[in-house]
Structure 1
Amino acid sequence: MAGAAIHIEMPLGVVVRKTPGVTRWARWNWTAVAVLPGAGPADWVELRREGDAVEYHAATLPLTLWAAEAEAYMANLADSQPSIYLVLRDEAGDKRPLDAVLVTASPFEGQDYADTGEEIVEKIPMTEGLIAWVRDFALEHYRDDGFVKRRRDRKRVDLVEDGKGDARIRQASDVYRAPRRILQ
């Protein structure tokens, strides 16, 4: 492990499909459909057209795996369909339909972006080769800490009744009653 890299990187192309929207409020529906490991640079290059549906090589982004995120990658690989998470942002006034911001193999990081509600987070199935690449890196860096049960200290905290009730009440009997003003 002494020579293990703390991160590795691979260029990853993302394919996005544009189809007509089904409501009058959404003119187009954008869906991420595939990844292209090791792809060259691209900026919304049209790949295929079938009627109104168009597939674009939207962008090529670096997929970076970090040693500290190995647990997240293991959680992703344990899923029934390991996936890459693509973060898209709709920038007003931009010449592109959407901006591809980030690709990640960490479901936790994908969830963080989805929680804001400002970005579109798409889940794209990983290819077999990409699964093997992520798995090899995660297995090299993953360390299972295991469950550690917290042990209680032996100090008795129930012996002193400090601060019980209302301090304005002098009697020891009904310490939970409301204080009253003494009428003269």
Structure 2
Amino acid sequence: MPVGVVLRRTPGVTRWAKWHWTCSAVLPGAAPADWKEMRREGEAVEYHAATPVLELHGAEAEAYLHGLSIAVPSLYVVMRAVHGQDFPYEVLLVTASPYEAQDYTDSGEEVVEKVPMPAGLVARVQEFVEEHYREETFVKRKRDKKRTDLTQDGIGDPRVGKAADVYASPALKRGRLI
């Protein structure tokens, strides 16, 4: 499903940052857009920055379930900073998986914004989870009965020929340690 990403630009609060950018909303089923201005309120401007496709995969159903179970179900918008262009971010993807979003935060190169999921999209993701999620049964590992402490499985490196245990303390020879 195509999902439009709305980025909001407001004046920065410090002299080092002229503008502050946040992801303010997502638009399910939006048409393609490339930084189309949507609304202006004084110096604050909202742009329909991009329309990536939200893909749901059956293998990620557990992650979607986790994302739906939080107080405010959310989508995660992953962006990368670009330099030398009119707008500071390139929208990479939109995901419903908090696990995938966390993977993108590990490198520190991408910006991940959490945006509340619209009610219609919550219902669609919930329907997908109900269809694809299969809870894995817990299987407790059983210990094997083999006793590993009964045999000594090596006294040092077998490639080195030694007559004695290599872990033994050094012997005294003529009053000195060797």
CA distance in 2, matches of 1:50, 1:81: 27
CA distance in 2, matches of 1:117, 1:55: 25
Q: Secondary structure at the match of 1:29?
A: strand
CA distance in 2, matches of 1:108, 1:66: 13
Contact kept, 8 Å, 1:85 with 1:106, in 2: the verdict is yes
TM-score (norm. length: structure 2): 0.87
The 1:164–1:36 alpha-carbon spacing in structure 2 relative to 1, beyond 3 Å, is: same
Q: Secondary structure at the match of 2:36?
A: strand
Q: Secondary structure at the match of 2:71?
A: coil
- In the alignment, structure 1 residue 126 sits paired with structure 2 residue 125: no
Q: Secondary structure at the match of 1:147?
A: coil
- In the alignment, structure 1 residue 113 sits paired with structure 2 residue 109: no
* Paired residues for 1:88-167 under 5 Å: 88-163=79-154
The 1:183–1:52 alpha-carbon spacing in structure 2 relative to 1, beyond 3 Å, is: farther
Match of residue 2 from structure 2: 11
- In the alignment, structure 1 residue 21 sits paired with structure 2 residue 21: no
The alignment yields a C-alpha RMSD, in angstroms, of: 2.3
The 1:52–1:95 alpha-carbon spacing in structure 2 relative to 1, beyond 3 Å, is: closer
* Paired residues for 1:168-183 under 5 Å: 170=164, 178-179=169-170, 182-183=173-174
Which 5+ residue runs of structure 1 have no aligned equivalent?
A: 1-9
Contact kept, 8 Å, 1:166 with 1:176, in 2: the verdict is no
Contact kept, 8 Å, 1:13 with 1:40, in 2: the verdict is yes
Percent of aligned pairs with the same residue?
A: 59
| Structure 1: 4+ residue segments shifted above 4 A | 164-169, 175-178
Number of aligned residues: 172
The one-character-per-residue Cα deviations of 1:106-145 (angstroms, maximum 9, x if unpaired) are 1111011111100110000001100000010011000001
Q: Secondary structure at the match of 1:134?
A: helix
Match of residue 76 from structure 1: 67
The one-character-per-residue Cα deviations of 1:27-64 (angstroms, maximum 9, x if unpaired) are 21111111100000111111111222111111111000
Structure number, greater radius of gyration? 2
The 1:63–1:178 alpha-carbon spacing in structure 2 relative to 1, beyond 3 Å, is: same
Which of 38, 44, 48 aligns to 1:57? It is 48
Which of 23, 30, 37 aligns to 2:28? It is 37
